[in-house]
Amino acid sequence: MTQPAIPSAAAASAAVAPSLAGASIALRTQFFVMGVLFATWGVHVPIVKAHYGLGEQTLALAMLASGVGALAALAYAGRIVGRYGPRAVAAVMGCISCAAIAGLEASTHYAALIAVMLVFGSFGSLFDVSLSAEASEIERLSGKPMMSGFHGMFSLGGMAGAGLGSAVPALGLSPASHLLLATGLCAAAILVASRAMLPLPEKQAEAKQPLSLPRGPLLLLGVLASMGLIAEGAMYDWSVLFMKQERASDASTAALAYASFSAAMAAGRFGGDWVRARLAPRRLLRASGVLAAAGMALALAMPSPLVALAGFALVGLGLSNVVPMLFSAASQVPGVSPAHGIAAVSGVGYLGMMAGPPLIGLVAEHSSLTAGLLVVVVFAVFMAVSAKRALRGA
């Protein structure tokens, strides 16, 4: 990694290090908060389904609204973050995302839910992009890989958010009170942490370019990223409902589905750099796909809720380093700049994240949620089989 030219290295180092350390802590906090927000939505999926009187298909369409909003915002995300900087964008978009989740059950009209999901998808994606831009800048300034750790905090936040959701019945809180408490704490943390974030330099013309469809090696990497994100999104959106509907679990046990997946994913990401230093990427991708497929198959085949929780944990461990590996490979494709490679692959991956949960919902509506979640097994197997071709020479 090329280091920026800095005059008077010793003096500059002393001046930059404290702010860089503070920005790193602030960014980890923001990723943690984003994980809590996604977990809060995930825990409330069964409640939202009952509150609005929805079937799987109409619930899937509401989830699709979130994806449509995210994809629309993604076209302008680079321009917005480049103009205002990740610090300001994270503060504003993060708080609006909190407000959207807080309003999940404010109405009983389906149109209101669609509007809420559109807002959450669009502003949440801008929040996400601002954090990724900040992470890239911190990584550049520090001169060492840190991305896995940042994403590990997202998974840790997911675990914490699901844990709080699991404790709600024991605490005697209503679903609406839980939403207000969780999102209020998240908004406060976002505002405090954003003050310590670094501004992104006003540059990078590529950030203003529209996303383009990848071809060749990038297309395969993008398809695999899409499959990984579909599987990940399935756990976020459907695991809690699966526990309640297919395994007849109570609310507290069902909420642990999200927690077990997120905890395993966090552990895999925090240890990801250590594992990647000792195992070739294509072997790790193959092992990751096999582990995720085995975990999902176990959860779907066995009637025990505890076995299902163990299976979800294996899925989280298997998927934890898939996307970081694919993004790393995208940045090294010959003839393509790292920024363009990562943008192309993440764009296709985002399309998968948008389409995946509704696809599972449509299958569930016409068959069962168990049948819908078989998609995770199929995609994980495909990742394992395609590892050698996708990561040639790695």
3 state SS for 300-350: HHCCCHHHHHHHHHHHHHHHCCHHHHHHHHHCCCCCCCHHHHHHHHHHHHH
Helix axis angle for 322-330 and 147-171, nearest 10°, is 150
Q: What tens digit of pLDDT does each residue of 240-254 get?
A: 889 998 998 988 888
Q: Which two tokens stand for residue 357?
A: 């949960």
List Cβ neighbours of 48 (8 Å cut-off, separation of 6 or more).
Answer: 54, 59, 62, 104, 105, 113
Least confident interval from 32-41, 198-207, 232-241, 243-252: 198-207
List Cβ neighbours of 227 (8 Å cut-off, separation of 6 or more).
Answer: 352, 379, 380, 382, 383
Task: Please state, in angstroms and rounded to a whole number, the distance separating the CA atoms of residues 114 and 272.
Answer: 37
Alpha helices in 172-280 (DSSP H): 175-194, 217-246, 251-270, 272-276
3-state helix, strand, coil in the chain (%, to 5): 80, 0, 20
CB 293 within 8 A of CB 377: yes
Q: Which two tokens stand for residue 382?
A: 């495909």
Written as one letter, the residue type at 207 is A
Say what the pTM is.
Answer: 0.72
Planar angle of CA 295, 124, 121, nearest 5 degrees? 80
Written as one letter, the residue type at 100 is A
Task: Please state, in angstroms and rounded to a whole number, the distance separating the CA atoms of residues 311 and 301.
Answer: 10
The architecture in CATH of the region 211-394 reads: Up-down Bundle (1.20)
Alpha-carbon 243 to chain mean position: 21
Give, for 69, the enclosing helix (H) or strand (E).
helix 56-102
CB 165 within 8 A of CB 43: yes
Strand, coil or helix: what is 1? coil
Q: What is the largest CA-CA distance in the chain?
A: 67
CATH number for the region 19-200 comes to: 1.20.1250.20
Cα–Cα distances in angstroms (integers) from residue 262 to residues 227, 275, 356, in the given order: 18, 19, 18
Task: Please state, in angstroms and rounded to a whole number, the distance separating the CA atoms of residues 266 and 271.
Answer: 9
Task: Please state, in angstroms and rounded to a whole number, the distance separating the CA atoms of residues 377 and 213.
Answer: 26
Residue of 310, 209, 207 whose CA lies nearest to 263? 310
Chain-wide mean pLDDT for the chain? 82
Alpha-carbon 271 to chain mean position: 18
pLDDT at position 9 is 39
Domain ranges of the chain: 19-200, 211-394
List Cβ neighbours of 110 (8 Å cut-off, separation of 6 or more).
Answer: 52, 54, 58, 62
Q: What tens digit of pLDDT does each residue of 273-293 get?
A: 788 778 888 999 999 999 999
Task: Please state, in angstroms and rounded to a whole number, the distance separating the CA atoms of residues 305 and 313.
Answer: 13
Q: What tens digit of pLDDT does each residue of 318-370 get?
A: 999 898 788 777 767 777 655 566 666 776 777 777 677 778 888 888 888 99
Least confident interval from 12-21, 63-72, 212-221: 12-21
Q: What tens digit of pLDDT does each residue of 209-251 get?
A: 444 556 778 889 989 988 998 888 888 778 888 999 899 898 8
On the question of a common fold for 19-200 and 211-394, the answer reads yes
Residue of 29, 7, 336 whose CA lies nearest to 191? 29
Task: Please state, in angstroms and rounded to a whole number, the distance separating the CA atoms of residues 2 and 182.
Answer: 41
Q: What tens digit of pLDDT does each residue of 98-154 get?
A: 999 999 988 889 999 999 999 998 999 889 878 877 877 787 788 776 777 888 898
Residue of 245, 260, 251 whose CA lies nearest to 296? 260
Cα–Cα distances in angstroms (integers) from residue 229 to residues 52, 142, 347, 357, in the given order: 27, 28, 11, 10
Residue of 317, 264, 312 whose CA lies nearest to 288? 317
